[in-house]
Structure 1
Amino acid sequence: MFRRRRREQPETVAEHEQAAPTRESGPWDADEPHPDNDRIDLGGLRLPHNPDFDVRLASVGDQHVGVVVIHGESTLQLQALAAPRSSGLWDEVKTKIRAQAKELEEREGPFGAELAGELPTDAGPRPARYLGVDGPRWFLLAVISGPGAHDEAVAGAFVDFVKDVVVVRGDEPMAREEPIPLRRPNEQAGGDGPEERPGLNPFKRGPEISEIR
């Protein structure tokens, strides 16, 4: 289970107090005014603390590429990607997903258009919902799978979680659909960066999950 990050430094808090959020909810960009809540600092993502959720990093090799949030038999997967300055990625990603999973149907959700349905697995059909949010030079993909994709109480808790996520894009150049770097809460940013990071493939076998204690 992740530990909560300490509250932001006083000067940052002062900035948030001076500029109130202009929207009712996120996901938030780190550079826009957002509520000063306790969050788990993973570098590229700052996640709200919910004691009912088990939060884990998803890794491919030694690269942290996403987050898995577990609640009972349901999961929420989050991945933040670099996006072009001129346009978002969700329309393009939706098309890719529909091409590989014709079982999913498009509908309106809390963040606009989303995809929902049941995906075939070795253990039988598994409910899934794909939600996408286009931000300034980033894209956040959220996938709810398991009973929570249909159970409104669980899905609502996951949606509230996503609404309080903060994405830290940073100013460094990044390739289109490159995962925004994540790190363990006790790791410092920096160090030699990988030459190439894997792109988005929502239907690839799930990455190795490492739990942060």
Structure 2
Amino acid sequence: MSDTEHPKSAPADRATAGPFDDSEANPVRPYVDLGGIKLVPRADLAVRLEVEEGNKRVVAVALDYAGSTLQLQPFAAPRSSGLWHEIREQIVQQIEKQGGRTAASTGSLGPELRAEIPAPDAKGARIARFVGVDGPRWFLRGVISGEAAVNPEAAAKVEELFRSVVVVRGTTPMPPRDLIPLHVPASVAGATAPGATPTGPAAQV
């Protein structure tokens, strides 16, 4: 981890077009409350929670939308500096270790990475886009796969979905890069989250 501070990476209109801080969210709009993030309900949106085996901790939210999947993870971040520049470098290193390839580009959300990741069965590769936005005291990472990784029309829909997300940082002190706690919506608490997917060790930024 570098001691170098980087400026925040975010669209110029983030505060008005998202992704939003909880203080910027519409106070009368109904949201699906997942703890560290809140989502606007959509009829054609499927929400899956990725759960760490063993301690059953929710480590990511996966949204199936427009023939694509958008995986979301909110992290605590410094107040004045950003994390996305350094995290992009780490993602490149991780994917290269897996034998994959990455290409840097700039999209509607700012700097992003397009990656070709070898499939576990060694047959072909999976295409994914890594996007990220630095907000006030938080960083929101998204991994886009499916149609939105290759189709501009689907990409625009998923980028709009990403920008509708509300990040709830809370007031609890947290070290930068710690995952902001996620939880099952209150409406299904006590039951198994619909579509909950066990994963391996918690993803790290």
TM bin, normalised by shorter chain, reads: 0.7 to 0.9
Report deviation, 1:199. 5.8
Partners of 2:92 and 2:67 in 1: how far apart? 25
Question: Which residue does 2:158 correspond to in 1?
Answer: 158
Question: Which residue does 2:79 correspond to in 1?
Answer: 85
Go from structure 1 to structure 2 and tell me whether the alpha carbon gap of 1:84 and 1:59 turns closer, same or farther (over 3 Å shift). Answer: same
Matching residue's letter, 1:38? P
Report deviation, 1:30. 0.5
Report deviation, 1:52. 1.5
C-alpha RMSD of the superposition? 2.4
Report deviation, 1:22. 8.5
Kindly indicate whether residue 178 of structure 2 is the aligned counterpart of residue 184 of structure 1. no
Report deviation, 1:48. 1.8
Go from structure 1 to structure 2 and tell me whether the alpha carbon gap of 1:170 and 1:23 turns closer, same or farther (over 3 Å shift). Answer: closer
Report deviation, 1:23. 4.1
Kindly indicate whether residue 36 of structure 2 is the aligned counterpart of residue 44 of structure 1. yes
Partners of 2:14 and 2:46 in 1: how far apart? 30
Question: Which residue does 2:114 correspond to in 1?
Answer: 116
Go from structure 1 to structure 2 and tell me whether the alpha carbon gap of 1:72 and 1:134 turns closer, same or farther (over 3 Å shift). Answer: closer
Partners of 1:185 and 1:64 in 2: how far apart? 11
Residue of 58, 67, 75 corresponding to 2:61: 67
Task: List per-residue Cα deviations over 1:38-73 (Å, max 9, x = no partner).
Answer: 321111110122221211111113211210012375
Partners of 1:97 and 1:111 in 2: how far apart? 17
- Structure 1 alignment gaps of length 5 or more: 1-20, 189-196, 202-213
Go from structure 1 to structure 2 and tell me whether the alpha carbon gap of 1:37 and 1:156 turns closer, same or farther (over 3 Å shift). Answer: farther
Report deviation, 1:131. 0.4
Q: Tell me the secondary structure at the aligned position of residue 155 of structure 1.
A: helix
User: Does the CA contact (< 8 Å) of 1:179 and 1:199 recur in 2?
Assistant: no
Q: What is the aligned residue count? A: 173
Kindly indicate whether residue 204 of structure 2 is the aligned counterpart of residue 200 of structure 1. yes
Task: List per-residue Cα deviations over 1:4-52 (Å, max 9, x = no partner).
Answer: xxxxxxxxxxxxxxxxx98441000002354743321111110122221
Q: Tell me the secondary structure at the aligned position of residue 160 of structure 1.
A: helix
Report deviation, 1:148. 2.2
Report deviation, 1:159. 0.8
Partners of 1:50 and 1:33 in 2: how far apart? 17
Matching residue's letter, 1:200? Q
Partners of 1:74 and 1:68 in 2: how far apart? 10
Question: Which residue does 2:175 correspond to in 1?
Answer: 175
Q: Tell me the secondary structure at the aligned position of residue 133 of structure 1.
A: strand
- Structure 2 alignment gaps of length 5 or more: 1-12, 191-200
User: Does the CA contact (< 8 Å) of 2:129 and 2:145 recur in 1?
Assistant: yes
Question: Which residue does 2:198 correspond to in 1?
Answer: none
Residue of 25, 50, 55 corresponding to 1:58: 50
Residue of 17, 22, 27 corresponding to 2:19: 27
Q: What's the TM-score, normalizing by structure 2?
A: 0.76
User: Does the CA contact (< 8 Å) of 2:117 and 2:127 recur in 1?
Assistant: yes
Go from structure 1 to structure 2 and tell me whether the alpha carbon gap of 1:31 and 1:97 turns closer, same or farther (over 3 Å shift). Answer: same
Q: Report % sequence identity.
A: 42
User: Does the CA contact (< 8 Å) of 2:32 and 2:185 recur in 1?
Assistant: yes
Q: Tell me the secondary structure at the aligned position of residue 104 of structure 1.
A: strand
Task: List per-residue Cα deviations over 1:119-147 (Å, max 9, x = no partner).
Answer: 21134211110000001111000010123
